[in-house]
Structure 1
Amino acid sequence: MSQKNTGIQMTGKALLFINGVPPKNLPETEDYAMIACSDGAFHYLKEKNFPLDKLDFISGDFDSHLGSDEAIYHDRFIFTPDQDKTDFHKSLEIIQERGITAVDVYGGSGGEMDHFLGNLTVAFLFKNELEITFYDEFSTYFFAPKNLILENVRGKTISLYPFPLTENITTKGLNWPLNNDTLDLSKRIGTRNFASEETVVINYGKGDLVVFVEN
């Protein structure tokens, strides 16, 4: 699946691991300008033999003890004790401050669902500054631009989730198309559609829309 997003100029992409369900397979790292993790994700990266020397920073309040690694990687720790923000939120702030415009996030879902909803809400707060894409074992998901093209998706489940209201949605390439329709979290959502063509086009006018694409 590839995604085309018109209107966002990338100056680099970050890879960020946070403390949800760890990915079964770690992504390739060569194309990232920055690699970072929360203090909780640091543990599963170590268990998966991730090359920790590739990390640009480790952010958190460090309530998860890091043991002997504290001495080795101490220069990469960024202590962020603000309890009014999640570790994910604070990591995105650091990434944004360093001039990155796009972030791939692993460990953002699974486990306790309040964490998942909280991470989605944090992504909403940054959606105008950062192009954030989540990856898990089931799907890729993100806040969609108003004009979105998905390629190589025939047969995949595509879900459209209003956040909380999305107006004037028109789609092409979905089995159940929308034609200038409205999705409303309190009335109608667009989950469990699927791509009947290789290319899916999604356009909308007002509001915000989360798109989930099956792996």
Structure 2
Amino acid sequence: MSSHHIVRDDQEPALIIANGAECSKELLGQLLEWSPLVIVLDSTIERVVELGIKVDVLLGDFDRGFNPEQYRDMQYPLEIIYAPDQDKTDLEKAFDYLISRNIPAANVIWATGRRADHTITNITNIVRFRDKLKIVILDDHSKIFLLPSKYEKWYPAGTPISLIPIGKVSGIVTQNLKYPLLDEELTIGYRTGSSNQVLKDGMVIIEHKQGDLVMMECFD
């Protein structure tokens, strides 16, 4: 795997590599190609170095005897960010770092799979950054992001789409989905919009009035 390419500093989304299940080399390569900044969380660096990826920032609490300094020369120039706050996950700390640098967007990989508690936390925590950072979590089967109050995008017929509420979401109206929602409510744990699909080639429109609604574009 080659190093990433600088595209336009701080304009393209940064890439955060977490410590979950790895994605395909194809997806990883595509994201590296367009990422001006690559951030790796804590001990994930060991797996990343094996793939020959050039890293810009290594961030975490560096517990369990982990020594980040051993990677400084081989990844030069490498910025090492010690973030010991135990009330936040390393992924949240990476989001805070990007916000401090006024970087507006981030793609996140290796944030799903492996431990279920980490997967759930990583997905649900993106709502906290709604007004500060555009976040997309990707793996080989899903593209996950938070919806604005009105969302419009062209999709081919049959595209699997899931609408997952974080808590309760009300006033949901959809157009061009097989199972439409007409001013309805979704609540996590009771009713979600999982496994819907695009009805026909064309624009999909999703609106909601209150709450945090996560879109998952799914790939079987």
| TM interval, short-chain normalised | 0.7 to 0.9
Matched with 1:76 is 79
% identical aligned pairs: 29
Letter of the structure 1 residue corresponding to residue 174 of structure 2: T
Aligned with 1:88: secondary structure? helix
User: Aligned partners of 1:91 and 1:205: how far apart in 2?
Assistant: 30
Unaligned 5+ residue runs, structure 2?
A: 1-9
Query: Counterpart of 2:217?
Result: 213
CA–CA distance in structure 1, aligned partners of residues 141 and 162 of structure 2 = 12
Q: Secondary structure at the match of 1:209?
A: strand
1:156 is matched with 159
Aligned mates of 1:171, 1:161 — CA distance in 2: 14
Q: CA deviation at 1:33?
A: 3.3
User: Please, what TM-score do these two structures have when normalized by structure 2?
Assistant: 0.84
Note closer, same or farther for the CA distance 1:153–1:130 as it changes in structure 2 (3 Å cut): farther
Query: Does residue 196 of structure 2 align to residue 193 of structure 1?
Result: yes
Counterpart secondary structure, 1:122: helix
Amino acid at match of 1:180: D
Which SS does the other structure have where 2:182 is aligned? Answer: coil
Report 1:76-115 matches (<5 A): 76-115=79-118
Paired residue for 1:36, among 27, 39, 59?
39
Deviations 1:131-181 (A, max 9, x none): 100001211011111111232342121111111111111111111111111
Query: TM (normalized to structure 1)?
Result: 0.86
Counterpart Cα distance in 2 of 1:71 and 1:61: 20
How far is 1:67 from its partner? 7.8
Deviates more, 1:137-146 or 1:191-200: 191-200
Give 5+ residue unaligned stretches, structure 1: 1-9
Q: Greater CA deviation, 151-160 or 10-19?
A: 10-19
Query: Do the aligned partners of 2:155 and 2:198 also contact (CA within 8 Å) in 1?
Result: no
Greater shift, 117-126 or 59-68, is seen at: 59-68
Q: Report the 3-state secondary structure (helix = DSSP H, G, I; strand = E; otherwise coil) of the residue aligned with 1:27.
A: helix
Any conservation in 2 of the 1:172–1:200 contact (CA below 8 Å)?
Answer: yes
Q: CA separation of 1:189/1:43 partners in 2, compared to 1, >3 Å: closer, same or farther? A: same
Q: Which has the higher contact order (CA 8 A, sep 6+)?
A: 1
